[in-house]
Structure formats: C-alpha cells, structure tokens
Chain A
Amino acid sequence: MDGSESRENLLAVKAASAVKTTGVPAPCWSCRGPVDRSAVFCGTCAAVQPPGQTDYFTRLGIPPSFDIDGALLDRRYFEQQRQLHPDRFATRTGRERALSQSQATAINEAYETLKDPLRRADYLLQTRKGAATPAGCNMVNDNALLMEALELREALAEAGTADAVKLLARRSETDIESCLRNLSSAFAEDDLKMASWLTTRLKYLRKFADDCRARRLQLARA
C-alpha cells in the first residue's frame, strides 16, 4: 500500500512538472499509457484525445503567417474534420463522442479564425503582442482614420441612387484590397504597430462595405 502511494506521489510530481515541459507525455484516458500532448489519437490504443491547448496554425497544420495558402487551409480542415467530426463517432461510447465533439469544435474555431483575413490579423496580433483590440471592437483612436471613416459615412448618406452606392462599394473594395496587401507586408516585417493600425482600418472598411450592401438592398427594394 505504502509502495503504491509513494509511486503515485512520484507520478503526481512528474505530471505537475510535465505541464511546463512540453514533450512529456500525458496519460491516455482510455489505455492509460503515455500519449503525446499534441496527439489527436493515442498512438497505442487509437482512442481520440481531448483537443488540448494549441495555437490555431499548429492545430490545422499550416505555417504561422498572415499570408496563408487558402487551398491548403481548406484541405487540412477537411482532412481533420473527416477524422474527428462527431459523425465519425456516432456508434462509439459517450466519452469518445464528447471528445470528438470538442475536437471538431476546436477545429472549427481555428478554421473560422484563420479563414477570414480580419480575424486572422486580430489573432496574430493577440498571439504576438499578447494584447490587441478585441475582435469586433470598433474603437478608432487615430484621427486620420476617424476622418476617413466619417467622410465615407457622409458620402454613403448622400448617395441617393443604387449606382452611386455601387461606386462607393467598388471604392471600398479597392481600399480593402490595398489594406490587405499592406497588412501582409506589415506582418512580414513584424511591424506590429502598423499591423495593428491596418487591422483597425480593415475593420471599419469591412463595416462600410456591409453598410453599402445594406443600403443598396434598401434602395433596390424601395
């Protein structure tokens, strides 16, 4: 009894230190043997593992960068879902079904974030700087940005025909494209201050494009 207790203590100590040292295996919930912390399936018994904490790029197996290969992202996403979606576990034990659900949820979260340039930029800023404007927040601190946003908004309010709105929408599309190009170089040069500014700009350009669409539909229906 004593012997097994001290063994358990030893394991507990090791397990605690393992949290800090990546590369030290965790016990598999199913066969209870060692399994790599980033493994999706146990190498020994093939049981599905909990998703764990991994950055989105690693989870989907693509290089961490603002410039991603969209086709590769899609392919990796579908490969992962093919293995881990709850439908693949429909006839398994409840535990396995629940784990596949959390895996599929984590994959969807990673994919949805990386697929969209704005969310991807936000995510990169968060992970590189540690803190950034939360996603969806429309704070504009910069005067130049603020003026540009106001001018566009006024122009939209004055646009009385579908064609006038279309013109504005086309302009904002061009702006978004150049903003994305600039974001790409800012991230490539690791200029996080510039990247952060461009991300804010992208946010309101996107918002403006949405508003243009809504206004166009409104005019079309009237």
Chain B
Amino acid sequence: MAQLLQIHEPGATPEPGTDEAPLAVGVDLGTTNSVVAIGEDAGVRVLRDENGIGLVPSIVAYAADGSAIVGELARRLMLDRPEAVVGSVKRLMGRGIADVKTLAGTLPYQLVDGDGSMGTGGRMARVVVAGHVFSPVEISAEILRALKERAEMQLGRTVDRAVVTVPAYFDDAARTATRDAARLAGLEVLRLVNEPTAAALAYGLDEGAEGIYAIYDLGGGTFDVSLLNMQKGVFQVLATGGDAALGGDDFDHAVAEHFLAQRRQQRGDEPLAVADVKLALMTGRIAKECLSTQKWGEWTLNIGDVPSLHRFDRPALEGLLDPLIDRTIHICRQVLDDAGVDPADVQGVVLVGGSTRVPLVRQRVGELFGREPLSDIDPDEVVAVGAALQAKALTRGSETLLIDVTPLSLGIETMGGIVEKVIPRNTPIPVARAQEFTTYQDGQQAMAIHVVQGERELVDQCRSLARFELRDIPPMTAGAARIRVTFAVDADGLLTVSALETTTGSEQKVAVKPSYGLTEDEMAQMLYDALQHGAEDMRLRVLSEARVEAKRVLVALAAALAVDGDLLTDEERQALDAQVAAVETAIAGEDRDAINAAVEELETLSRPFAERRMDRGIRAALSGRELKDFEAAGR
C-alpha cells in the first residue's frame, strides 16, 4: 500500500489530494474590462459568452437589496440608473480618498472615506452606490465572482484557483486589495502576475530569442510600460513605469470634454447631471472607437432633451489625444533611461490594452522603438491569455519561471521626515532585508514605525503604506537599543514588516497590513457574508488542504520506509502499515477532522522509527568523520 506511493522529483510533484486534474484559470481584472481564460492541452481558450464576446465590462450594478449584476447588463443600466452603477473601481484599489481626489471629476460616483466620513482618515476610499457603501474590494469581488461563474458554467466544474494579473506599477496596498477581492469571491490566488509579464508569456517570448522586450500597455484606466529581460526561460522585470491614472478613459474624457465645450459655445452654460456626464463619456468613447477605422463622423449629444450635433474627424481626435499619448512616450523614455537601455536594444515591443487600437498610438510607439510592435493577439485578451498560461504552468508544471522585481522602493521614515530605503526598486523578489534602528531618548520604550513606498527622499512625497508602534522596548540609554526592522516581500510583491529588539533578546514581532487595505475584522465580516453563499466552497478548500498535508506525510513515510525499513520489527511495521491504511481511508472520505486525527496518530506511531533513523544517520556521519580524522592523524 504505502510502498505503492510514488516519489517525484523535487518541484515536479503533481498536486496530490484531488481526483480531477488540477485546474486554475487566468484572470485579467481590468479597469474597464475583465477577461477569464483557461490553459488547455490544445492551447489557451478565452471563455466567451453565447455571443462570442470574451470581454466582461468591469462594471457592477447594485439593486436596492445590495445584490449585484456584473458586465454588459450593468453597463446598459449606466444610463437609466446611474446612481446604482459603478465602474473603473480598479483605480480605487488600495487608495485613500486623498489619493483619488484628482479622479473625482472622472469617476462619476460619490466617494467617502473608509470610516464613512468625507475626511482623510487614511483608509481605503468607499463608493456610495444604490444607497449602499461598498469598498472597492467588495465591488472587485463581484466582478471576480462573475468571471468564476462564467468559467464554472463553461468548464462544468468548480473553479477555485486563479492567477490574477495586476499592473506592474501597483503598490503593495493595491496588490493586497486585489488578493483580498479574490478571496472574497472564493478564488485562491496562486500568483499575482504583472500584466506586462503575462502579455510576454502570451506571445511565447519565454521560448523565443533571449533579449530585452518592451510591453506598452494602454488600458482603459492605467498606462504601464515595462522592460523585460528574458534569459534562459526566466523573465526579469528590468524596469517598470507608468501612470496609474492615464488610459483610454482619459481619451473618452478628452472627447467628451470637447463635445461639451462645443455645446457650451452653442448654448451657453447648462447644469449637468451625473447621467449627462455619463452620456457624454459614452458618446466620446463611441466617437473615438469609430475614428480608429473611419476618417470622420457625426455624433449627437442629447442633454435635457436638447440634442446637439457634433462633427468630428481623425485629425481633430489626434489633436486631442496627442498630449496624452505624449505622456506615455515620455514615460517610456524615462523607463529606458532608468534601465540604461537604448531603444535600439529592445528586441520586440508588445501592445496591450484596447487603447492601442488607436492608430496614432501604434504610430508613436513604432517611431520610438524603431520597429513594428507585436499585435497579433487581441490586445484586450492578451493579458488573460498569459495569465492562463501561467496558471497552467503552476498547476501542471512547466519550464518557464517568472522572477519579478519590486516596482517601487520600500523604506522607513527616520528623523526629520527623511526616507531610509530598505529595499530599492527593481530588486528581485521574494526578498527580505533588515535594517537596524535605535532609540533617540533615554528610557524610550516605544517606537513608531512608518513604512513608505516611493522613490522620493521625503516622506510626504512617498506613499504611506503602514504605521505601527513597537512597544515594550526595555528602558536603556539613548542609542543602546538595537531594533531590527525586517521587510519581506513575497513572490506576489506583498510586503510584511516585522520589528524585533535584539540587544536584550526580547522579541517583538509585528506584522502589518497596509493602512489602505481592509482590517482583518472587515475582511472576516465580508468573508462571513460571502459564506452565506460559499460555505460549501470553504468546506471543500479546508478538506483539500487536509488531504494535501496527509498525502505529504504518506509520501515522506513511504520514502523513509524504503530506505530504513529494516529498523522496524515485523510487528512495528504491521502497526505502521495498518495506520497508513487508516489514513488512506480517511483521505478517501470527506471528514477533515478524521483525516487530521488519523495523520496525528500515524505521526505518533512512527516517532520511534524517526528517532532510530536519526540515530543511524548521526552514527554514520560520526564514524565517517572519525575515520577521516584518523587518516589525517596517521599521515
């Protein structure tokens, strides 16, 4: 029985404990649209609706009872029930209300501070919609839930794992918020992947020529440019840059502003309702999209039952868009400069995001890099395709490995509001760095630690990530205490900070969540609410974890028995085998507690065996060494 278990190469073990082949989807959670895709043997399939449309508008409409509609239906409700519809929520992920003040004009819905006030409490902004107050995490979770449902409908099985993409520019708070949203939607995030890296994977650049690639991603709400270095199947993000508030929405906005200005010239000032702004934005978007293929057109804006006619052509559009595109080109130059890379050294350019369909964008990018950009894969779907490939690689194993870097420097506030950088940007992750600090007053027993992210030298110019206080420092003279602050960033780019007083050995460890994230209490409550629907999901996940652990114990024991089985008497061996069988029976069942109990029993039963194995190992090592010592002495 136990002998039949196979031992796999390190790192190559397929996931035990599931009856079906492991499965995870790739999700591009976009500002304007989202896409879900699945990696299959034959390649990647974008999961589409009955009309063959893969894009799910990242728009959520809420009913009075708080239930949600996501996607195209919600988008259509935008005009009739603007107060109940919310979009572009990705711009708010992990942002405080002060961060998004500048966006207030472009986001046609009301924002409040985390605590419900209009102040600047330094917590994630909330959205007022349909008389409810929702966090961006909850709204994003609705979108993810809709994508999960679409995948489950089409695949005919439960989908509870995903690779989710985020802009390379996303800071820690936004990454944490994204992960929380997935958790709320019942999706375990196997990995957060940077969008540009996903796009590069989609084009198979990991299998192509080694070299430097640029990914130009102009989506609905964010612009990102990244330089990737691909060597020996490993991706490194050399440098990233971007603007978290620049995208196709701004194009629409520019056109809408233009139309509204024309209207003002014709009719003078008129009061605009939220619905009117939405109408103007929608008309602007339609005009922009038409002019990607046509030379000119005419559009009507119907506000207060008074229509106005707007004739508009491509040169006029390009005149409006040029300054915005200029900003992206400028950022591209800065990123190239940062990395010390000449545009001519770039081996390929990948276009991502619907806004790269605008002919002027393609032209300007082509001019900068002196080469025709890659755009064979639908720029709206390319990121989801890459995410699906990565999801497949993580669940089924693959040669490709992604090594990302920190997008922004992480540091700590020191005396005088100066930032001491602990982890510089573009450091490969996972990474852990420690820095020592000390007290500045005699008998000082507490220390405030302020964690910031950004490139500037002054605290006010960086983004505040977290504040916490280290207490119970033993009273000492100033400068005597040694406080070691450790920053750890995991492979997803998520930060944990801990602090520890080292001189007295009194350990103080504090892990912090970003201040713009949700508190554990809020998260627990949301999970509880979500569980009203997802209790079964949760039970299955916990059961699956118990099975994975139990199989790990069985594999380890089988391996040990194969090597050191002779250390057991026949009776002992029989007792162990019987308990192994009991664990296997428990694994086949559905009771998590029974599995854990059987595993614990097996661990207890095999303890003497483990001790004898250690004894043998130590004896072998010591005798080998004595022999060597003896030989050395005899020489």
Contacts and interface: CB of A to CB of B under 8 A. Distances in A.
B11 A25 contact: no
B559 A24 contact: no
Interface string A66-89: 000000001100100111111111
Given A91-B15, A105-B488, A217-B337, A25 B22 contact: no
Contacts of B488: 105
Contacts of A174: none
B231 A78 contact: yes
A198 to B, nearest CB: 24
Contact of B622 (A11, A24, A109, A217): A24
Given A75-B232, A78-B231, A46 B10 contact: yes
A34 B559 contact: no
B170 to A, nearest CB: 19
A25 B620 CA distance: 9
A215 B607 CA distance: 66
A23 B430 contact: no
A11 B395 contact: no
A45 B611 contact: no
B622 A31 contact: no
A86 B614 contact: no
Most chain B CB atoms below 10 A, which of A23, A27, A31, A45: A31
A87 B232 contact: no
A53 interface: no
Interface residues of B, number: 59
A108 B431 contact: yes
Interface string A31-73: 1111100001110111110000000000000000000000000
A46 B614 contact: no
Contacts of A90: 190-191, 394-395
A93 B552 contact: yes
Contacts of A217: 337
A14 B618 contact: yes
Nearest to A82: B401
Given A24-B622, A75-B232, A111 B548 contact: no
A46 B427 contact: no
B490 A101 contact: yes
Contacts of B555: 45-46
Contacts of B633: none
Nearest to A25: B617
B556 A47 contact: yes
Contacts of A21: 622, 625
A95 to B, nearest CB: 8
A4 B608 CA distance: 8
Nearest to A74: B231
Contact of A108 (B429, B556, B563, B564): B429
B10 A83 contact: yes
Contacts of A24: 618, 621-622, 625
A112 interface: yes
Interface in A135-160: none
Contacts of B428: 108, 111-112
B625 A23 contact: yes
17 contacts: A7-B611, A25-B617, A27-B610, A28-B556, A30-B556, A33-B610, A33-B613, A33-B614, A34-B616, A41-B10, A44-B564, A83-B11, A90-B394, A90-B395, A93-B549, A101-B490, A108-B430
Given A23-B621, A33-B614, A112-B428, 9 more contacts: A14-B618, A30-B556, A31-B560, A32-B556, A46-B8, A78-B234, A86-B491, A93-B549, A104-B430
Interface of A: 4, 7-8, 11, 14, 18, 21, 23-25, 27-28, 30-35, 40-42, 44-48, 74-75, 78, 81-94, 96, 101, 104-105, 108-109, 111-112, 217
